[in-house]
Amino acid sequence: MNIILLGPPGAGKGTQAQILVEARGMTQLSTGDMLREAKDSGTEMGQIVADVMARGDLVTDDIVIGLIREKLASDSGAGFIFDGFPRTLAQADALADLLSDVGQTLDAVIEMRVDDEALVKRITARSTCGGCGAVYNDITKPWPEDGKCANCGSTEVKRRSDDNEDSLKQRLMEYYKKTSPLIGYYHAKGTLKSIDGLGEIDEVKARITGALDG
């Protein structure tokens, strides 16, 4: 099963993707991770990525599609989760062409709907452990009172510099302009499944499971 997790920044796509990886053995294809991995790989494609990034240029859609093609060739059989791609209608078309070319299909697009105001509150309260990357939230899952991560014991707390209200609103505007048209695109293709993305992690996990298996 190949799926896309779609939703605004901070909707919890990365968290839910990791849950699917652990529960179903799927492979998460994160654009950022693929680019970093390619840059350090020493392959021909990796050298292209390294050169582009060294110049400070934006990585083209063709390069990202090339990286995805390489990943699809190593299919484990459990399927892929596309995280952070596609972001535009042109990228969605390119992904559709690629999947058709390699004889695979896109089985579901899960739209994680969230209320903007609730999202801003959630993200501005977010922090992560510098040791293991565990996610905390000042409101729903505060950093432990003893100052140590409950997962690994680290005392290093990190907050993303762009996890502030003004920056988040700008990121949301970019999402609505460029990425939200994908909702109509996949609805027309009959692959869109919308769920409520707000709630506890396990609640959202259950909704995604229902959408995929229902």
Furthest CA-CA distance within the chain: 54
What is the spatial distance between Cα 115 and Cα 174, in angstroms, rounded to a whole number? 16
Q: Is 129:136 a contact under the CB 8 Å cutoff?
A: yes
Q: Hey, what long-range contacts does 113-117 have (CB within 8 A, 24 or more apart)?
A: 113/7, 113/194, 113/195, 113/196, 113/197, 114/7, 114/8, 114/10, 114/11, 114/197, 114/198, 115/198, 116/8, 116/172
> How far, in Å, are 20, 109, 127, 203 from residue 198 at the CA level?
18, 17, 18, 8
CA–chain centroid gap for 72, Å, is: 17
Q: Which residues carry out catalysis?
A: 13, 87, 126, 160, 171
Residues 6 or more apart from 199 whose CB is under 8 A from it? 207
Q: Which residues, 6+ apart, have CB-to-CB distance to 139 below 8 Å?
A: 121, 122, 125
Q: Which residue has the tokens 């535009």?
A: 88
Q: In this structure, are strands 135-137 and 126-129 parallel, antiparallel, or unpaired?
A: antiparallel
